[in-house]
Amino acid sequence: MSEYGQESLWRDTATADSKRARDLAARLERRAKAEDEVAARDTYLGLLDISAGERVLDVGCGSGAVTRDIARRVGNTGLAVGLDPSPALLAVARELAHEAGLGGHVEFHEGDARRLPFPDRSFDAAVCVTVLSHVPKGEAAIPELVRVLRPGGRLGVFDLDTDMTAFTHPDRSLTRRIVAAASDATAVNGWLVRTLPLLFQRAGLIDVRARGFFPLETHLQSFYASMADRCAEAAVKAGVVTESEGRAWLRAFHDQGAQGPIVAGRLHIFVWGRKPA
């Protein structure tokens, strides 16, 4: 494979047209409603100790699902700010925030996580959710995020570890080959999250901690089960498996799902820390 992330859904989202943006937004909103995702989001936003009246930044906000949750926490006296490089996705995010009755304390801005368009010390907290693994040189966002925090401000990054993907399947060997190939193809750096604690420390944060989450779903119509198709396709395109192997693997996965509950999911890690006061 010549380059990581060739099959990433989030490749070149900045230039996405309205149709593609709405398709991506629907996917993001579907994931945001999954039971384990809701629980994880409630936990990691709680670990950041977001409270009423604060200004909080959500970098790579997409459809604004996390931004809306932040807005509910900061209330009418605070401000949730979503940032994304995609004008089309931001249009959807504004619509959804308005429909949720949150327009008065939510703002959305176009911009790049690695070059934030905000002055120093602008926010009480910042969060970045499943973004940096899809961004070339995503690690460059960490010093920028620290820069815009006020003294004592908190930073949290929640991202995926693409190698740690689980599917119920009878063929262990083939599943491992497909997951490994998809790990490289569907993210620019599926291992970036493993380096975040050190990156946080180097950027000057203190009290750095990490916690793992493994959102799982148990039926074929779920968000995580739908990843199986993309994983198989990525492995075929990478030349790791043949088309017939990819089809056979998917058929066996769907056969398992037809028999009853399955497991489909992926490890996510939340890393958080504090800027010295």
pLDDT attached to residue 6: 67
| Per-residue confidence in pLDDT tens, the chain, 277 aa | 345 666 677 777 888 899 998 999 998 998 899 888 999 999 999 999 999 999 999 999 999 999 999 999 999 999 999 999 999 999 999 999 999 999 889 999 999 999 999 999 999 999 999 999 999 999 999 999 999 999 999 999 999 999 999 999 999 999 999 999 999 888 899 999 999 999 999 999 999 999 999 999 999 998 889 999 999 999 999 999 999 999 999 999 999 999 999 999 999 999 999 999 9
Give the model's pLDDT for residue 9.
73
Interstrand relation of 55-59 and 216-217 (parallel, antiparallel or unpaired) = unpaired
Residue ranges and CATH numbers for the domains of the chain are 13-162+187-216+265-274 (3.40.50.150)
What is the rounded distance in angstroms from the CA atom of residue 53 to the CA atom of residue 263?
40
Beta bridge partners of 264: 167, 217
pTM for the full model? 0.93
